[in-house]
A and B are shown apart, each in its own frame.
Chain A
Amino acid sequence: MRSVLEAKYINKYFKKPVLFHVLKNIDFKINKGEFTSIMGKSGCGKSTLLYILSTMDTDYEGELYLNNQLITGQDSTYLSYLRNKHIGFVFQFHYLLSEFSVLENVMLPAKKLAEKGHQEIEHDAYEKLKMLNIDHLAKKRASRVSGGEKQRIAIARALINNPSIIMGDEPTGNLDSYNAENVFNIFKQLSDESGLSLLVVTHDEDFAHKTDRIIQMADGEIISNR
């Protein structure tokens, strides 16, 4: 099967306040269409790993491949472009631009990519919102919608450029069980129906057990990968 994301012997050190080996020889692969979760206790380095995989953190040793293309050592502008085009992000906190409307928030990454015209982007954004059943919020200010809705808007934004992979850092961590269930179902649906690859860092065991694959981490190492 074609791999979307591949990490080869990734090591990372925190240099402050004391030298600390956070990630030790992380080596794994995510195939296309896989719904993977990373689990582990707080401080085991799972979020740190996610940010390395997301290309935002470039201070590491080892090699990282996105769609079989080496991206370690690329310049930051190119990495921004890769994030824009190939990686969708969903965070624990909703992280919308609060002064913009919901629709503008969703459209922004596509406008940045500028591969499509304004009309087409707006149409796409409506499609994504409709898919997540929040198209009625489109014209509202992002600061005026509820937490669960915000997270769905963030998912719509992550989807707007039809990325190769969606990454989530505790995407349900800040939601009540109803909304958490809702978000999980959306992810599951995207994975099953659209064949989208997902990589989610989570504490939530129920969430993790429903995914295709769980990577267990402890003290900066992968202890189980099934």
Chain B
Amino acid sequence: MVNWSVILNIAKTHLLTKIKQTATAALGVTFGIGAYITLVCFMTGLNAMLDDLILNQTPHIHIYNEIEPSKNQPITLYDELKTSFNVVHSVKPKLSQKKIHNALPIMDYLNEDNKVKGAIPQIKTQIFYLAGSIELGGNLTGIHVLDEARLFNLKDYIVKGSPKALHNNDNGILIGAGIAKKMSLDIDDSVQISTIKGDVFPLKIVGIYQSGIADIDAIQSFANLKTVQRILGEAENYITDINVKLHDIEQAIPLSKKIEQQFNLTAIDIKTANAQFETGTTIRNLITYAVSITLLIVAGFGIYNILNMLIYEKMNDIAILKATGFSGKDVQLIFMSQAMIIGFVGGVLGLLIGFGLANLIDTIPFETEALPTVETYPVNLNPLFFIIGFSFAMLSTFLAGYLPSRKARKIDPVRIIRGQ
């Protein structure tokens, strides 16, 4: 039977009479947990931002017609040579259309799937921006601008103007920030573009687009789907790409495989297209945790040291307690509860400090050309981090308290009493 009120009372008295040591030990934990919370909130916030930078505007599944050599060369059709070793030189890509055949029915089919949040069409084409006699190469993408804004956060990357303005203007263009700067263009100016075939069209700039990736901003522009179809002289069913956004990103791989088989198209899922982002995230998380755990281990050693010293100072007390009927277990519990109290108080303070610092970081201005939508440093205040931090505080103080308190349990009172 353990008499907790007596044990906790003794632990409390020990802690309060050595308030400076207690505070030092608790501050060690506070510092460790506070640093962990701040670090992990900040790092995961940055991670999420960097991921969003790419992943937000990337479709979960991108469907298009790949220009590639035919897998079945004529010789494979000839049965007589089936068993022999054939070499075909100078294989050329198969002549096929850029547009997706039956794009509109495919989109209707995808939009009916309840896993799909939305499937929207795009037309990608190469153009030249004309500035006097200078021709600058670029990409023009025809889009359903309102759907793009809804599904792929296009609005976040429009630094001037709005998606609505493009939607309302059949001759409008959303021009990349890089190209706009090169050509000294601004909103409401007009720009001339030329198709590969040589047709020249004047378009009115209704907005400026900035993705944060300079290479893209230097070439990319957007216009309405119909505008691009008109520029290219194509029909209304001319669509080169379908972008699909899913409710659950994990479904991307199976669904993309299914689409490839079903429609004989190329479907690239987000995981394959952006594998390096996941690797980067994992490594950054690894670093965060390595640093945090180091801090907590240092704090743990602090507690271990202080409890060890406390037990040396309290040798006499331990001997008296044992002589007057406290068992070794009671004595161990007294010192364990001291460690746990230090861990609890230090841990809670650490959570508060971490929360405060994370919020402070969240208010620090962070403005950069590359990230038009970000105004302050990103912070991810996930409750899970607080639970992990607190659990770790309790675990490390438990371990740091366990060894010294076990020593206290084993102290032989006779040796202490007779030693004087």
Neighbouring B residues of A140 by C-beta, 8 Å: none
- Partner of A95 from the list B10, B316, B328 (CB cut-off 8 Å) is B316
- Which of the candidate stretches A107-115, A186-194, A208-216 sits at the interface with the other chain? A107-115
* A93 CA to B397 CA, complexed, in Å: 35
Neighbouring A residues of B13 by C-beta, 8 Å: 99-100
Is there contact, CB below 8 Å, between B3 and A89? no
Is there contact, CB below 8 Å, between B3 and A81? no
- Which of the candidate stretches A15-23, A51-59, A62-70, A125-133 sits at the interface with the other chain? A51-59
Task: Return 5 A-B CB contacts under 8 Å, by A number.
Answer: A56-B322, A56-B414, A57-B414, A80-B327, A169-B417
* A109 CA to B320 CA, complexed, in Å: 10
* A97 CA to B318 CA, complexed, in Å: 9
Is there contact, CB below 8 Å, between A109 and B418? no
- Partner of B417 from the list A80, A81, A91, A112 (CB cut-off 8 Å) is A91
Cβ of B247 within 8 Å of any chain A Cβ, yes or no, is no
Chain A proximity mask over B1-27: 1 for CB below 8 Å, otherwise 0: 101011000100110010000000000
- Taking the closest CB of chain B, its distance from the CB of A126, in whole angstroms, is 19
* A112-B3 CB under 8 A given contacts A47-B418, A57-B414, A95-B417: yes
Is there contact, CB below 8 Å, between B418 and A108? no
* A97-B317 CB under 8 A given contacts A83-B324, A89-B323: yes
Is there contact, CB below 8 Å, between B323 and A112? no
Cβ of B326 within 8 Å of any chain A Cβ, yes or no, is yes
* A91 CA to B417 CA, complexed, in Å: 8
Is there contact, CB below 8 Å, between B327 and A77? yes
Neighbouring A residues of B327 by C-beta, 8 Å: 76-77, 80-81
- Partner of B320 from the list A57, A80, A96, A169 (CB cut-off 8 Å) is A96
A87, closest chain B residue (CB): B325
- Taking the closest CB of chain B, its distance from the CB of A74, in whole angstroms, is 12
Is there contact, CB below 8 Å, between B14 and A77? no
Cβ of B319 within 8 Å of any chain A Cβ, yes or no, is yes
B6, closest chain A residue (CB): A111
Is there contact, CB below 8 Å, between A109 and B325? yes
Chain B contact residue count (CB 8 A cutoff): 28
Number of chain A interface residues as a range: 20 to 34
Cβ of B117 within 8 Å of any chain A Cβ, yes or no, is no
* A124 CA to B330 CA, complexed, in Å: 24
Main secondary structure of the interface of B (DSSP, over half): helix
Cβ of A150 within 8 Å of any chain B Cβ, yes or no, is no
Cβ of B413 within 8 Å of any chain A Cβ, yes or no, is yes
- Partner of B418 from the list A51, A77, A97 (CB cut-off 8 Å) is A51
- Taking the closest CB of chain A, its distance from the CB of B338, in whole angstroms, is 13
- Taking the closest CB of chain B, its distance from the CB of A142, in whole angstroms, is 11
Is there contact, CB below 8 Å, between B323 and A56? yes
A interface list, Cβ under 8 A from B: 47, 51, 54, 56-57, 76-77, 80-81, 83-85, 89, 91-93, 95-100, 108-109, 111-114, 157, 161, 169
Neighbouring A residues of B5 by C-beta, 8 Å: 111
- Taking the closest CB of chain A, its distance from the CB of B6, in whole angstroms, is 5
* A47 CA to B319 CA, complexed, in Å: 16
- Closest 9 A/B residue pairs (Cβ): A84-B325, A80-B327, A99-B17, A109-B324, A111-B6, A83-B325, A77-B327, A51-B414, A95-B320
Neighbouring A residues of B322 by C-beta, 8 Å: 56, 80
* A114-B3 CB under 8 A given contacts A95-B319, A100-B13: yes
* A222 CA to B6 CA, complexed, in Å: 41
* A97 CA to B324 CA, complexed, in Å: 12
- Taking the closest CB of chain A, its distance from the CB of B339, in whole angstroms, is 18
Is there contact, CB below 8 Å, between A97 and B414? no
Cβ of B329 within 8 Å of any chain A Cβ, yes or no, is yes
* A81 CA to B325 CA, complexed, in Å: 6
Is there contact, CB below 8 Å, between A56 and B420? no
Is there contact, CB below 8 Å, between B418 and A89? no
A113, closest chain B residue (CB): B325
B418, closest chain A residue (CB): A47
Is there contact, CB below 8 Å, between B3 and A80? no
Neighbouring B residues of A109 by C-beta, 8 Å: 324-325
* A99 CA to B321 CA, complexed, in Å: 13
* A77 CA to B327 CA, complexed, in Å: 5
- Taking the closest CB of chain B, its distance from the CB of A77, in whole angstroms, is 5
* A56 CA to B412 CA, complexed, in Å: 8
* A216 CA to B142 CA, complexed, in Å: 112
B331, closest chain A residue (CB): A80
* A77 CA to B316 CA, complexed, in Å: 20
Is there contact, CB below 8 Å, between A99 and B3? no
- Taking the closest CB of chain A, its distance from the CB of B417, in whole angstroms, is 6
* A169 CA to B417 CA, complexed, in Å: 10
Is there contact, CB below 8 Å, between A84 and B418? no
Neighbouring B residues of A98 by C-beta, 8 Å: 317
* A112 CA to B412 CA, complexed, in Å: 19
